[in-house]
Structure 1
């Protein structure tokens, strides 16, 4: 579990790095702020008591994503490589490891050239620009707060839509429940049935959409589009100034859906498969 001081130091370092490199790092703040007690996921480098390097591990089912940074004034000293070596014992417990680097990060890509990895995939961070009107729903779609009895369906959706294994999906949903994320979930109702889920995480006036999924047998009926439109409207009605989501570039169907609903690309993250 990270302390308030540690979180503030990570945030300050992130701001320095992003402004210097003109990039946007993906540090998964919803997870950083809710680390489990005793969980070894975060690694620090210090100079004169100041955090000058950070590496975080983020587990999603069978994979661990790795993202980190080093202060511009302390680069070319092997700091990030040392942090990465410290994390290896944890990484070895995962089925596969993805190294996350902003697509336009020169220093990040230079480091990747020195490790054993291959390009895996890219994703866009997309922002709802707010210029498109949100149409009233003409489909019998409803978003309702998630209940404990929805847990089995959320696990099923992670298995069929996000390629989780059963035990990994259960562990991930247990982690989300333990971290207090249960209140962020909405279930998608259609035809008198629960057909999907969507999670909305709020940070100040910024809303972030995660885990948006519809059961395969209910896809292609417009339910996902209406659910997404309702989610955006919910956030705008509550005074949120920005709504974000991630999408893989290879997921052309989802990318087309999000674009047609008024989302625009803001940045790109690249992922590289690392071999222990």
Structure 2
């Protein structure tokens, strides 16, 4: 077996991975797409794609999402005909070596509830436990947008990005991280960032990430004093309608325990299509 570590992908390499993903999704009945973009990683020179080949055939793959040095999020696929042969174990050993070299010892494994093989893999990781669960919700049908009184929504650009960064930082307590997050949304051609105002006061942000046939809404937030006043619904319905103009479906992920957000999304055209478990594992050093 030959294992290759990469921090970027050629078109041919990406197509190989997507073909393997498609095969595994059909075999396992899973929904979510692998994330093949390192723009949000804290260091885009760090290898985050790990590919296993048998006689030049891609038989296993791990993508690592590392937005901070706190933990690495693992998404893995193994060819159905090559399972139970130690491929994931060998790939993960390479992932651990790479992440440990930059001080990362905590790993989150992404496992959809429909993936029996994924569930079996994490059972063999000592001390791995469920850390969190998320729902994936999808919408394919357009419906009217909603705006509370005095609300208007503006695209974030180079002129107002500092306002958006400060707004995000005021909620998450990390201006530099928020600034990097907003900059990624502006620099990547397949992303857009929008900000909601109450009159002249900025109150919330939403992001859209466009894929070939779908779009993802993410990073939707409203400052605490403006919650439950319709601004979250305004940002959601605006992003939903904008995305559906050019894509046949739009989806988002939400923490299962965030009942307020789940209710908002379900009340505005979204339906549950998948549930994902995040298993946490810490490597002893």
Q: Which of 205, 213, 218 matches 2:226?
A: 218
Q: 1:199 to 1:42 in 2, by over 3 A?
A: same
C-alpha distance in structure 2 between counterparts of 1:215 and 1:42, whole Å? 36
C-alpha distance in structure 1 between counterparts of 2:54 and 2:39, whole Å? 24
1:99 match: 109
**Could you tell me whether the CA contact under 8 Å between 2:233 and 2:264 is conserved in 1?**
yes
**Could you tell me whether the CA contact under 8 Å between 1:41 and 1:58 is conserved in 2?**
yes
Q: Which of 235, 250, 262 matches 2:269?
A: 262
Q: Which has the higher helix share?
A: 1
C-alpha distance in structure 1 between counterparts of 2:44 and 2:236, whole Å? 34
Which whole-Å deviations, capped at 9, do the CAs of 1:105-143 have from their partners, x for residues lacking one? Answer: 11111110111311011111101142x732553433222
Which whole-Å deviations, capped at 9, do the CAs of 1:225-273 have from their partners, x for residues lacking one? Answer: 122112222233x242111111010101100111111110011111011
TM-score normalised by L of structure 1 = 0.87
Which whole-Å deviations, capped at 9, do the CAs of 1:178-205 have from their partners, x for residues lacking one? Answer: 5456x51111122311111111111133
1:248 match: 255
1:82 aligns with 2:87: no
1:208 aligns with 2:216: yes
**Could you tell me whether the CA contact under 8 Å between 2:186 and 2:193 is conserved in 1?**
no
* SS of alignment partner, residue 91 of structure 1: helix
Q: 1:14 to 1:79 in 2, by over 3 A?
A: same
Larger relative CO (CA 8 A, sep 6+): 1 or 2?
1
**Could you tell me whether the CA contact under 8 Å between 2:21 and 2:77 is conserved in 1?**
yes
C-alpha distance in structure 2 between counterparts of 1:187 and 1:213, whole Å? 10
**Could you tell me whether the CA contact under 8 Å between 2:138 and 2:252 is conserved in 1?**
yes
Q: 1:4 to 1:18 in 2, by over 3 A?
A: same
- Equivalenced residues, count: 271
* SS of alignment partner, residue 25 of structure 2: helix
Which whole-Å deviations, capped at 9, do the CAs of 1:79-129 have from their partners, x for residues lacking one? Answer: 001111101134333374311111121111111011131101111110114
Which whole-Å deviations, capped at 9, do the CAs of 1:37-62 have from their partners, x for residues lacking one? Answer: 63311101001112110001112344
Q: 1:102 to 1:174 in 2, by over 3 A?
A: same
C-alpha distance in structure 2 between counterparts of 1:55 and 1:178, whole Å? 26
* SS of alignment partner, residue 110 of structure 1: helix
1:5 aligns with 2:12: yes
C-alpha distance in structure 2 between counterparts of 1:39 and 1:254, whole Å? 34
C-alpha distance in structure 1 between counterparts of 2:95 and 2:159, whole Å? 36
C-alpha distance in structure 1 between counterparts of 2:239 and 2:53, whole Å? 41
* SS of alignment partner, residue 20 of structure 1: helix
Q: List structure 1 segments (4+ residues) > 6 angstroms apart after TM superposition.
A: 33-36
Gaps of 5+ in 1: none
Report matched runs for 1:36-47 at 5 Å.
Answer: 38-47=45-54
For the aligned residues, what is the CA RMSD?
Answer: 2.6
